A and B are shown apart, each in its own frame.
Chain A
């Protein structure tokens, strides 16, 4: 049995194996076997969901944006040659579509152009956090103290595989050297806040 046949299974596989598998699925899809995209969709849809939600969209809008992005991908499939290029394209396209949808919603609501910071954060309410443990509460409390741009970056990058961190950071418009080989300013800031918080402890 090949490694292919066991993925996605219950056994965790290495990011490198996932990567190689996605590359093969992408190749098959480019050759006309659209069914091969199913696994790619399963693997990357959660990442795109968080890209859309981090832009402050309501659930229904975020779900539509994710669908629209995948539909648009079909048209671009022939230009995309590697899983990293695919991830970069999908993140960029989702973010752009989410931005357009957010702008349209604000226009509908009669509000002027607002900044990310003023949008309702789709985060959990305090009640939900009770029972999730002190470490999570401390994580959330300190995460909320970061600038909106850092929250977006960290939330989304955390959903990616480690080899894709830098590609995702760049797709989110962050300069080279944010999260990737280096820690980057946003993660450095969160790390400092957490280390200074007596309620937080690393797991």
Chain B
């Protein structure tokens, strides 16, 4: 029996040949066209990992985003947009509502946050407006005893929250807690 070229079942144990490499190149191109990563994903990653005082033993726990709900016109002013983002980890849950700042304060945003378990923990907010500046600016506040904290008049951009262990807070946090960056 003669073998018809190309009709033979290709063997799984043969070495990769040029046709295999061409098929993989097509798959690469195809998925890159129909489902590319968000264009700013690498930038968001670079911002998230540009942490100050980085120390291998004290990176802390990374929390993941549990929920992200956008609401339009639900506030007292009717036209305001707000978004509630929940981050969750074994040691801490962070919930932040991001809303347009008062018009008088420009086009910034206001962040209202809650921590659970509640306590006067130190909360740091890193923001970058300028895409060429991965470090950005950093603001810090201390939550009240009920775990509430507020950042007001924050410029729009990429943001990341870092909650630091605070002995006097009464909350037993072994390491800092770091969120992925979100776009405000």
Contact = CB atoms under 8 A, between A and B. Distances in A.
B28 A158 contact: yes
Interface stretch (A19-27, A112-120, A181-189): A181-189
B178 A71 contact: yes
B116 interface: no
Nearest to B50: A34
Contacts of A74: 49, 51, 54, 56, 59
Contacts of B62: 68, 71-72
A50 B29 CA distance: 12
Contacts of A64: 64-65, 180
A185 B38 CA distance: 32
Nearest to A151: B27
A77 B16 contact: no
Contacts of A132: 33-34
Interface residues of A, number: 65
A34 B11 CA distance: 45
B107 interface: no
Contacts of B51: 34, 74
B66 interface: yes
A194 interface: yes
Interface string B10-42: 111111110111111111101111111110011
Count chain A CB atoms within 10 A of each CB in B9, B17, B24 and give the residue with the most.
B24
B31 A158 contact: yes
Contact of A67 (B7, B15, B21, B44): B44
Interface in A47-61: 49-50, 53, 59-61
B180 A68 contact: yes
Contacts of A50: 31, 35, 37
Interface string B160-184: 0000000000000000001011000
Interface in B32-83: 32-38, 41-42, 44-46, 48-51, 54, 56, 59, 62, 64-66, 68
Interface of A: 34-35, 37-38, 41-42, 45-46, 49-50, 53, 59-61, 63-68, 70-75, 77-78, 97, 101, 104, 122-124, 128-129, 132, 135-136, 139-140, 143, 154-155, 157-159, 162, 165, 177, 179, 181-185, 187-188, 190-192, 194-195, 202-203
29 contacts: A34-B50, A37-B46, A37-B49, A41-B49, A46-B37, A50-B37, A63-B41, A64-B65, A66-B37, A66-B41, A67-B45, A67-B181, A71-B59, A71-B62, A74-B54, A136-B30, A139-B26, A140-B30, A143-B27, A155-B27, A162-B21, A177-B13, A182-B12, A182-B14, A182-B16, A183-B11, A183-B13, A188-B12, A192-B9
